[in-house]
Amino acid sequence: MPSAAGRGQGQDRRPENEDSSAADDYAKERYGVSSMIQSQEKPDRVLVRIKDLTVEKADEEVWVRGRIHTSRAKGKQCFLVLRQQQFNIQALVAVGQHASKQMVKFAANITKESIVDIEGVVRKAYQKIGSCTQQDVELHVQRIYVISSAEPRLPLQLDDAVRPEVEGEEDGRATVNQDTRLDNRIIDLRTSTSQAVFCLQSGICQLFRETLIRKGFVEIQTPKIISAASEGGANVFTVSYFKTSAYLAQSPQLYKQMCICADFEKVFCVGPVFRAEDSNTHRHLTEFVGLDIEMAFNYHYHEVVDEIADTLVQIFKGLQERFQTEIQTVSKQFPCEPFKFLEPTLRLEYREGVAMLREAGVEMGDEEDLSTPNEKLLGRLVKEKYDTDFYILDKYPLAVRPFYTMPDPANPKTSNSYDMFMRGEEILSGAQRIHDPQLLTERAKHHGIDLEKIKAYIDSFRFGAPPHAGGGIGLERVTMLYLGLHNVRQTSMFPRDPKRLTP
């Protein structure tokens, strides 16, 4: 007769460390290695979430599934920390009515990161358990079954992986370097920090789309395999396509613009963007996620700038409101000041930014682009003066922008283009685009671009095109900078760079 615990999932494999005393083991039905879950049956057992195990549940008998985070045997007892995503609880297996000494030994020998089903009674803890998220309760184990075993040697320790670097340096305790993390990403992603980072990133995407749909935007899907490299062919990946060659899209821009020409008026898309750039920096990836916007406007591209800036503000606000737990979790490992922003968003002209830099001792020309150090310095100056981590730099020099950027009618040296910055780093680049085929042709010629190669692009504007503007946001950068992290590889689940293609 199967025990209640065994209902549905037989305990047909006995523990390997079973000893000769098994016959006398009064608890032998209460632990073991479950047979592989192959959907044999549908037991009506309810598994309670660890985060819901609070003093309100004291003295209740519950079933829980979790990973063995740590385990510590001590005489006739074994203390386990059972983990589920960002939450964990202490569990105690002690020789007594429910557990035999064999059962305690079995529990103590379960490898870290194994997944177990535990039946236990929730008990109020005598004193706060500082090392767990569920500090006021512990679980007194009555049954324990291994659902999936982890190999005994882990490639990295989760506790090391969440240790603040400062602590590691000061106390000589282990931390985990980035390559080890990335090589063993499925373990690294289990840390509370990683769980929080990627839940928050999911939230950024959700808030981005929620906001834009509320504003009347339509989501589009643009092709990633394209027949011609749109911007001259540099930094583009080549794909073999049946008997011919194709390219991976460096941006959805042409397609966003075609949708504007096709009267969708306000469009956005979320998708991969490919850059064959041999840049090995903290903020470049060869494949990243673009949050892209394009919008027809009535009379002035600032209509679009305002919509984009407000979308980012709604994201920042939404994160503050809905992801406070995640922000706190990440800050334990990577402390940083809360992200600050103004409403409405601060908009400076490029020349004002240059003036601030010059005042701070930087020498640069009016039509010179911002270097990365100058970008960061300007971010600090803006923060000091305006107390914001987010601002717009408008009216870039025409010379440093792509050929399709609309020139500023008021000044031949500047253009209707803008970048947006978070904590002094660029997260969005955008512009009013030229919607007139004649001017577009002139500007392409001026840039020395082969007109034949961009014929399809220019032809898109020949059948009536509304004035429009847009921009592309780098998702990983927004996540990184919002949380004050230091490398875009921390905010890409499976990052791709010139040296990394795996996992």
- SS3 for 17-39 is CCCHHHHHCCCHHHEEECCCCCC
Question: Given the rule CB under 8 A, which of 20-28, 96-104, 262-270, 374-382 is the region that contacts its own copies?
Answer: 262-270
In sequence order, the 6+-apart residues with CB closer than 8 A to the CB of 201 are 475, 476, 479, 491
H or E segment to which residue 133 belongs: none
| Cβ-based nearer residue to its own copies, 57 or 468 | 468
Per rule CB under 8 A, is residue 426 in the interface with its own copies?
Answer: no
Considering only the stretches 34-42, 120-128, 334-342, 368-376, report the one whose residues sit in contact with its own copies under the rule CB under 8 A: 34-42
> What is the sign, positive or negative, of the torsion defined by CA atoms of 456, 270, 241, 403?
positive
User: To the nearest whole angstrom, how small is the minimum distance from the Cβ of residue 170 to its own copies?
Assistant: 29
210 catalytically annotated: no
Among residues 2, 223, 233, 344, which is the contact residue for its own copies, using CB under 8 A?
A: 223
Within residues 472-501, the interface with its own copies by CB under 8 A covers 475, 492-496, 498, 501
Q: 429, 486, 496, 500: which one is catalytic?
A: 429
248 belongs to the binding site for its own copies (CB under 8 A): yes
> Of 473, 476, 474, 472, whose CA–CA distance to 492 is shortest?
476
As a whole number of angstroms, the longest Cα–Cα distance in the chain is: 93
Give the whole-angstrom CA distance, residue 478 versus residue 315: 10
Q: Record the tokens describing residue 273, joined without a space.
A: 């963007």
What are the C-alpha distances in Å from 362 to residues 352, 356, 375, 377? 13, 9, 11, 10
User: Closer CB to its own copies, residue 208 or residue 316?
Assistant: 208
**Active-site annotation holds for 426:** yes
134 contacts its own copies (rule: CB under 8 A): no
Per-residue x/- marks for its own copies, 43-62, CB under 8 A? Answer: x-x-x---------------
Residue count, binding to its own copies (CB under 8 A): 111
- Between the alpha carbon of residue 274 and those of residues 227, 290, 426, 475, the distances in Å are 15, 10, 18, 13
Residue closer to its own copies (CB basis): 6 or 379: 6
Site for its own copies (CB under 8 A): which residue of 137, 261, 392, 398?
A: 261
What is the C-alpha to C-alpha distance for residues 141 and 79, in angstroms, rounded to an integer? 10
Which residue has 């064959």 as its token pair? 276
Site for its own copies in 288-327 (CB under 8 A): 289, 298-302
Restricting to residues 170-209, which ones interact with its own copies according to CB under 8 A?
A: 185-190, 194-195, 198-199, 201-202, 205-206, 209
Binding mask 60-79 for its own copies (x = CB under 8 A): -----x-x------------
Residue 253 lies near its own copies (rule: CB under 8 A) = no
Phi-psi region of 343 (alpha: psi -120 to 50; beta: other; left: phi over 0): beta
Active site annotation includes 477? yes
Per CB under 8 A, 425 contacts its own copies:
no
Q: Which active-site residues does the annotation give? A: 275, 277, 283-284, 426, 429, 477
